[in-house]
Amino acid sequence: MFQISPLPASQFSHLFGRSDEELAGLGVSVSVAGPGDRLPCRISLRDTVTGERALLLNYEHQPAPTPYRSRHAIFVIDGAEEARLAPGELPQVFAGRQIALRAYDRSGCIVGGGLTAGEKAGALIEELFARPEAAYLHGHNAAYGCYAARVDRA
């Protein structure tokens, strides 16, 4: 069994409600979701709906001091509340996307990975966790390479 976790809203709350100009000064871009836009929020683990304000910023999702240390662009919905997923539950934001999963050991080095349709990610997660050296996983949106969510053993 596995548990998918969102990013904590508290890491981004200092950005919520700020003007576009203030955010630009912090290196954050603002988008307002239009019809059909799918801006994936890493806090709520869902896509934006029309009219929602999404903040695009650089985020260090893999801080381990290894060659795999990594940061990339992510979206968070302005004022988002954290998703609360049950063990084994896949987030809405995986649906309709190719998801790359990367398994890391306790030191933060990659020990496995794979690519799957988001709706079928559970099987690949279980396969990667069958490796005893896999301590945690990161999901990434395969098309753009951006971090999607962390996966731990439940």
Tens digit of each residue's pLDDT (9 = 90 or more) over 28-79: 999 999 999 999 999 999 999 999 999 999 999 999 999 999 999 999 999 9
Tell me, what's the pLDDT at 72? 96
| 86-106 average pLDDT score | 97
* Residue 43 contacts residue 7 (beta carbons within 8 Å): yes
Residue 126: half-sphere exposure toward Cβ, Cα within 13 Å: 9
Angstrom distance (rounded) from CA 126 to CA 2? 8
Residue in the structure block whose two tokens are 């709520």: 44
**What distance in Å separates the CA atoms of residue 58 and residue 145, rounded to the nearest whole number?**
13
pTM across the whole model: 0.95
Q: Please compute Rg for the chain using Cα positions.
A: 15
Tell me the one-letter amino acid at 93.
V
Residue 107 domain boundaries: 2-153
Structure tokens belonging to residue 73 = 């662009």
What is the residue type of 25?
G
Q: Which residues make beta-bridge pairs with 71?
A: 60
Amino acid type, 135: A
How confident is the model at residue 146, as a pLDDT?
94
Count the domains in the chain.
1
